[in-house]
Structure 1
Amino acid sequence: MDYTIFAVIIFVVALLVVGGAFLIRPRRSEAPPKPRPGEREGGAAGTTTAEPEEAEERERPLDAAKGATPEAPAAPEVETPPPSAGRLVRLRARLARSQNAFGQGLLSLLSADRLDESAWEEIEDTLITADVGVASASAIVDNLRTKVKVLGSRTPEEVRDLLRTELLAQIGTDQDRTVHTEPRAGSPAVVMVVGVNGTGKTTTTGKLARVLVGDGRSVVLGAADTFRAAAADQLETWGGRVGAPVVRKEEGADPASVAFEAVSRGAADGADTVIVDTAGRLHTKTGLMDELGKVKRVIEKQTPVDDVLLVLDATTGQNGLRQARVFAEVVNISGIVLTKLDGTAKGGIIIQVQRELGVPVKLVGLGEGPDDLAPFDPEAFVDAILEGGE
């Protein structure tokens, strides 16, 4: 054998043995790389390694202690409003305070020792200042002058009775002031609420629903003021408080279609009354007023409209009367709701608006509370005015 070849073989084997030893030799442990920003030690880029306790927590099912599914918010508690009977009497003190100047001025003038021409003019001015209106103020003064001459002597009690009788005669005690909410066979009564924005129209709609629910009626509300999403939201809040469903559509939808669906919903639910809140039309915009007439016509394809209530702000005076005339031409107003009556001494607006329109005041708002809307009672109103003057 060639010793040279043998030596080469031995050398190659030795190299292989030595190289294998190096290959199977354990590597030195290297320190783990420092975590990048946003990851924990031992995590891959862009990930976060959970601690053992956290991993175990994730594997466990959700329980009440940790990670429980949040409960749905509780439905608002349905309120039971007070009945409408006697509401104005309960609010009489508030009305008396607001009309104090009106009542006190008249009683003190009529109780003067001497009623000359100047005194009668002052009485007339007091009435006009209270928004009674020129024609009504003149009629009241003429009637009072005649009665004072016939009576002769005037005790405080006699003066009060004279004034009470005359104011009641001007306001009227024989008009139908009922809000017609009795359902017909197979269909609910329908009440439309109209008026200019800012008079408290949507709030009045919600408060009227409370009045009816307090009297044991079931109500459906129609949010036909589709130009203001806030109006529909506000109406849903009022309805939710007393359990009255609200029919609404997206902002900008056809108001007449909302009114139509509200009446359909009322009929399907067997509701007693549907109250439709309409947009606060500017009385100077003829197109918008025409659309309000369309709402009424569309409702009447299903059932007659029982009442159209015009909401007026008692503090607006003559401007409110101008609004009333335009609305009356479009939708045949059947009743007035006078709001913010507690915020003005101009209670005489009741006499003037009824005289101008031939339409009775049916409801009055005497504050911002949810139950401050009351059926109008002429005797309670006049007594409150004269109570404020005592």
Structure 2
Amino acid sequence: MGIFEKFKNGLSKARNTVFKNIKTIFSGKVLDDDVLEELEEILIMSDMGVEVSHKILEELKSRYKSNNSHNDPLLLLRDILVENLQKDEVVSDFQQKPYVILIVGVNGSGKTTTAAKLAKMYSKQGKEVVLAAADTFRAAAIEQLKEWGNRLNTTVIAHQKGSDAAAVVYDAITHAKSRGKDVVLVDTAGRLHTKSNLMDELKKIRRVVEREVPGAPHETLLVLDGTTGQNGISQAKAFKEAIDITGIVVTKLDGTAKGGIAFAINHELNIPIKLVGFGEKEDDLQIFDPVSYCNALLGVDEVI
């Protein structure tokens, strides 16, 4: 299955519920006030946010009136939506070993599953991966990562529940360095309701990583549950205030997520979305592609 087909299948619920009427209201290929009003309702309902929706509508009106480009409003909208999404891929060609990636986010966002899926992605590329079970607050998270490690035949470094998370990360990096392994993926805790403790723990982990691997962490990926809508933005801002986030992973887009959250994320946080998750299977994590994403939401098969 190609990239576009994966996005098309993964976003089918958002397309068939939230975005389904866009093709209908554009069927006359006339962009009048009634159409714009209906479109604004759809965009806001999609979790895009009022400010982003207004910005996109203003740009759509401007381009539609211009003769400098095609005037099919559906394709114009698609072009504008693509331009409002940042693209920046996770690195797969490492200049330094081990390449350390911190995976952060609130509990329930899909951090542990994302860590496992990333491990599978890198393993398929021939990289040797170490998973660090640094969410020591929850025994279930440690066991879940161990289970993934067994399934993927990937090394998991774990301590007991309540252990020092930074010590787990230290051991994982030491193991990777001694065995010449390529990637260390660190699954961290997500107790946002004890925000100060969590952020202090993340800063301590980061200090250990920086000391043991100069220039690391090479990535700090924030995992956001796509079904939480604007609440996810608030969560992201809390993490961004405490640590340097290099990319976003949006998960559960195959569920009740409305699709527009991706645009709100880029607008509010100015952090690129690097990966998206469309399910629980180990191969359901995809490199984010704005063109496929927007085409899938709008039901457009034509590529730019």
Query: Structure 1 length as normaliser, TM-score?
Result: 0.72
Question: Partner letter of residue 171 of structure 1?
Answer: L
Q: Please tell me whether residue 255 in structure 1 is matched to residue 165 in structure 2.
A: yes
Distance in 1 (CA, whole Å) between partners of 2:155 and 2:29 is: 61
After superposition, give the CA deviation of every residue in 1:7-35 in whole Å (9 maximum; x if it has no partner).
Answer: xxxxxxxxxxxxxxxxxxxxxxxxxxxxx
Partner residue in 1 for 2:102: 192
**What displacement does 1:151 show?**
5.1
Partner residue in 2 for 1:268: 178
**What displacement does 1:169 show?**
1.1
Distance in 2 (CA, whole Å) between partners of 1:208 and 1:88 is: 20
**What displacement does 1:108 show?**
2.1
Distance in 2 (CA, whole Å) between partners of 1:92 and 1:119 is: 25
Contact 1:283 1:323 in 2 (8 A): no
Question: Partner letter of residue 122 of structure 2?
Answer: L
Alignment match of 2:236 (pick from 324, 334, 340): 324
Query: Structure 2 length as normaliser, TM-score?
Result: 0.91
Q: 1:161 to 1:114 in 2, by over 3 A?
A: closer
Distance in 2 (CA, whole Å) between partners of 1:189 and 1:383 is: 33
Alignment match of 1:238 (pick from 128, 132, 148): 148
Alignment match of 2:271 (pick from 337, 341, 359): 359
Question: Partner letter of residue 178 of structure 1?
Answer: E
Distance in 2 (CA, whole Å) between partners of 1:337 and 1:149 is: 36
**What displacement does 1:94 show?**
3.0
After superposition, give the CA deviation of every residue in 1:138-178 in whole Å (9 maximum; x if it has no partner).
Answer: 111111112222359x98xx233212111111114xx4x22
Q: 1:329 to 1:231 in 2, by over 3 A?
A: same
After superposition, give the CA deviation of every residue in 1:280-315 in whole Å (9 maximum; x if it has no partner).
Answer: 221552122221111111111111100001110011
In structure 2, the residue corresponding to 1:104 is in which secondary structure? coil
In structure 2, the residue corresponding to 1:275 is in which secondary structure? strand
Partner residue in 1 for 2:195: 285
Q: Please tell me whether residue 370 in structure 1 is matched to residue 282 in structure 2.
A: yes
Question: Partner letter of residue 39 of structure 2?
Answer: I
Q: 1:372 to 1:134 in 2, by over 3 A?
A: same
1:1-390 equivalences under 5 Å are 86-87=2-3, 89-112=5-28, 115-150=31-66, 158-172=72-86, 175=87, 177-185=88-96, 187-282=97-192, 285-303=195-213, 304-387=216-299
After superposition, give the CA deviation of every residue in 1:230-250 in whole Å (9 maximum; x if it has no partner).
Answer: 211111111122221011111
Question: Partner letter of residue 247 of structure 1?
Answer: I
Distance in 2 (CA, whole Å) between partners of 1:279 and 1:88 is: 33
Q: 1:293 to 1:182 in 2, by over 3 A?
A: farther
Structure 2: unaligned runs, 5 residues or longer: none
In structure 1, the residue corresponding to 2:21 is in which secondary structure? helix
**What displacement does 1:118 show?**
3.7
Contact 2:100 2:217 in 1 (8 A): yes
Question: Partner letter of residue 231 of structure 1?
Answer: A
Contact 2:3 2:292 in 1 (8 A): no
**What displacement does 1:116 show?**
3.6
In structure 1, the residue corresponding to 2:181 is in which secondary structure? coil
Contact 2:295 2:301 in 1 (8 A): no
After superposition, give the CA deviation of every residue in 1:240-274 in whole Å (9 maximum; x if it has no partner).
Answer: 22221011111110001101111111111111100
Contact 1:212 1:218 in 2 (8 A): yes
**What displacement does 1:336 show?**
0.5
Contact 1:100 1:345 in 2 (8 A): no
In structure 2, the residue corresponding to 1:297 is in which secondary structure? helix
The alignment covers a number of residue pairs equal to: 299
Contact 2:31 2:73 in 1 (8 A): no
Distance in 2 (CA, whole Å) between partners of 1:342 and 1:311 is: 15
Report the aligned-residue RMSD. 2.3
After superposition, give the CA deviation of every residue in 1:20-77 in whole Å (9 maximum; x if it has no partner).
Answer: xxxxxxxxxxxxxxxxxxxxxxxxxxxxxxxxxxxxxxxxxxxxxxxxxxxxxxxxxx
Q: 1:86 to 1:208 in 2, by over 3 A?
A: farther
Q: 1:151 to 1:102 in 2, by over 3 A?
A: farther
Distance in 2 (CA, whole Å) between partners of 1:151 and 1:345 is: 36
Q: 1:313 to 1:88 in 2, by over 3 A?
A: farther
Contact 1:96 1:388 in 2 (8 A): no
**What displacement does 1:181 show?**
4.6
Q: 1:229 to 1:136 in 2, by over 3 A?
A: same
Q: Relative contact order: is structure 1 or structure 2 higher (C-alpha 8 Å, sep ≥ 6)?
A: 2
